[in-house]
Structure 1
Amino acid sequence: MIELRRGGSLLARLLLVALVALAVQLGTSGVASADPAASTWLKLRMCESSNRYATNTGNGYYGAYQFDLPTWRSVGGQGRPDLASPAEQDYRALYLYRMRGWQPWECAGMLGLRADADARSKRVPTYAESAYIGGGAAPAPAPSPAAGKPAWPGVVYAYGDCAPALKTFQLRMNDFGYGFTGTGCYYDKTRDAVLDLQRANGIKDSGRLGPQTWNAAWDGKAPR
């Protein structure tokens, strides 16, 4: 009888453990994994296409995320990416990320983007899940000489930032021979231009693009 009770007690404990494990599984099965932040997607778009959803330069890559047609179709895209809505492009980009991670995008490697738990998860997203990406905002246009100095954007930019205003600054610095393509992302070449501009105009060479440095790009001494 003692052995029988011990066996029954062990069986009860095993059943309890199994029930707890099942409850944990059921309780967590609906929790969505994290996807890249909206700011991360913006960095990617700025690098790939200067955040232009309708871009088509004739090189076989289209839209904000620079899909080629086979890749676009592999995630269910119809027609041409640059003709699709921003919401559709955002959705297909998230779909691709969940299938293949950052691997399809060369800019992801350049930017040092890190994959999270949803990369290559093979989970097909819903449009509601991709809505947070929130793309489609038009980048700030590059100023023409007739337009004069653009207003200070009100943000101090530093290494690793990406923003339309940074593209405006980069294109302005091309007037001094820097040869930016206008990615809108602040990395080594942009930092060098900022430091050159600061040193030429007696501004503390912090490497941060603040209001004094911004104004100097239009009103100050040439850095070269």
Structure 2
Amino acid sequence: MTTIDTSARFTTLPDEATLSATVLALEEHGFGVEVVEDLDAARRAALARIPHGSSVMTNASVTLRETGIEEAVDKGDAYESARDKMLALDVTTQSREMRVIAGQADYVLGSVQAVTRDGALVIASASGSQLAGYAWGAANVILVVGAHKLVPTLDVARERVYQHSLPLEDTRALEAYGQHSRVGKVLEIHQEQPGRVHVILIRQEVGF
């Protein structure tokens, strides 16, 4: 595993011109976008978009945890937690049912590793378990993203995945699960049907 790269290259918040250009590009590619000031505002914005009683899948995400979105969905009583429903099943005998639950909730929530200035989202995963919902399975997707993840190009986005996000996630996985992480699969979303994917950009560093 490479040394963790926490250089300013991958952690600096963008200037207003870069942020505005990225928001415009995302909107032109079919994504809904809103920019919020902090973690509390991000949580309020995400939850405001989800009708009470909806089934909601919170994918594993430092951003969802640090904003309090994960706890509000999975520990509260306003929504049906697809994650809790999935984890109640036996992975050895009910993996098919688990895949259906994870990918076809009313709302799927998560984050990304990079957003390019021309409006593409880059999402890396060890197993790929969350990618089906983002790509097509879920009717509604909400992605909560620290603005420090904005990058100029796809090449830099891929560098960010391997040089910055992976080492940090590897450290987290070792502490949480006792095993290394990896980049097993990468999803790039370049265009979306308007109204399906909503991106909440936070003017703050949060997540990997």
TM-score by length of 1: 0.20
- Ranked by relative contact order (alpha carbons within 8 Å, sequence separation 6 or more), the top structure is 2
The structure having more radius of gyration, on CA atoms, is 1
**The structure with more strand, counted as a fraction of residues:** 2
TM-score by length of 2: 0.21
**The structure with more helix, counted as a fraction of residues:** 1
